[in-house]
Amino acid sequence: MSFRFWRRIRIAPGVILNLSKSGGSLSFGPRGAKFTIGPRGKRATVGIPGTGLFYTTTLPSGKSSGRKSASYSAPAVPTVRLEDRLTLGFFKRLITPDDEEALVDGCRELVLGNEKKALEHLEKAVHLADGAYLAGFLALKQGQLEKAATYLETVAEKHSRLGRYFSKYGISATMSIPITD
């Protein structure tokens, strides 16, 4: 009979230090979905919390570990371009409100680098906090100061709703604005 040692220490929400006889590892992620980095390599685990059912896959690394592994390789995860994620299909457009559709179309144009077209779409969604936020900063960048002030005032009034549609569509908005000539 052999002895085992295993201990988990929560460092921060979603970050856990795992200690065992074979070494330490770090796990990141919410309950039910973890990414672990340790002496055995990188692992991704998903499961149904409270049931004991989970699936773990070892991710390929740049160097080979000291342990022998099976000749199984994890299936390649298809990558989806950001502009494709922001494209609403025919049926989705039928059930999506016009203002929300304009917000998504504006975000897609912004990703593609068409700021003028993006602003045209976003101006149809300025009563949504997220649409007003993006439209305000784009108008500011294009020198349309009165429009920018109006849109940003809308955002200030509806600040509690800011991020609602960004979260829904998996959008992470980062704006860079020059503050000098």
Tens digits of residue pLDDT in 12-50: 888 888 888 778 888 888 888 888 888 878 888 888 888
Least trusted range by pLDDT, from 65-79, 82-96, 116-130, 160-174: 65-79
Q: What is the pTM of this model?
A: 0.52
* Domains recognised in the chain with CATH numbers: 7-59 (no CATH), 82-169 (1.25.40.10)
* Neighbour tally for 138: CB within 10 Å: 23
Q: Span 64-74, mean pLDDT?
A: 51
Does residue 128 contact residue 103 with C-beta atoms inside 8 Å? yes
Distance CA 127, CA 64 (A): 54
Residue 91: C-alpha distances to residues 28, 95, 167 (Å)? 36, 7, 21
**Type and span of the H or E element at 20:** strand 15-20
For 120-145, write each residue's pLDDT tens digit: 999 999 999 999 999 998 998 888 99
